[in-house]
Amino acid sequence: MQELDNCANCGKLFVRTTRTICRECYKEEERQYEIVYNFLKQRANREATIPEIVESTGVKESLIIKFVREKRLRSSQFPNLSYPCDRCGDPIEEGMLCSKCTRELAEDLRQDSEIKEVAKRNQEKERERTRTYFAIDKTKKRD
User: Tell me, what's the pLDDT at 132?
Assistant: 62
User: Tell me, what's the pLDDT at 1?
Assistant: 61
Contacts of the segment 91-95: beta carbons below 8 A, 24+ positions apart: 93/68, 94/69
Regarding pTM above 0.75, the answer is no
Q: How many CB atoms lie within 10 A of CB 32?
A: 18
Across the chain, which has 143 residues, the per-10-residue mean pLDDT values are 86 88 93 95 90 93 90 84 88 89 94 93 84 69 62
Alpha-carbon span 120 to 110, nearest angstrom: 15
**Among 57, 20, 18, residue whose Cα is nearest residue 36:** 57
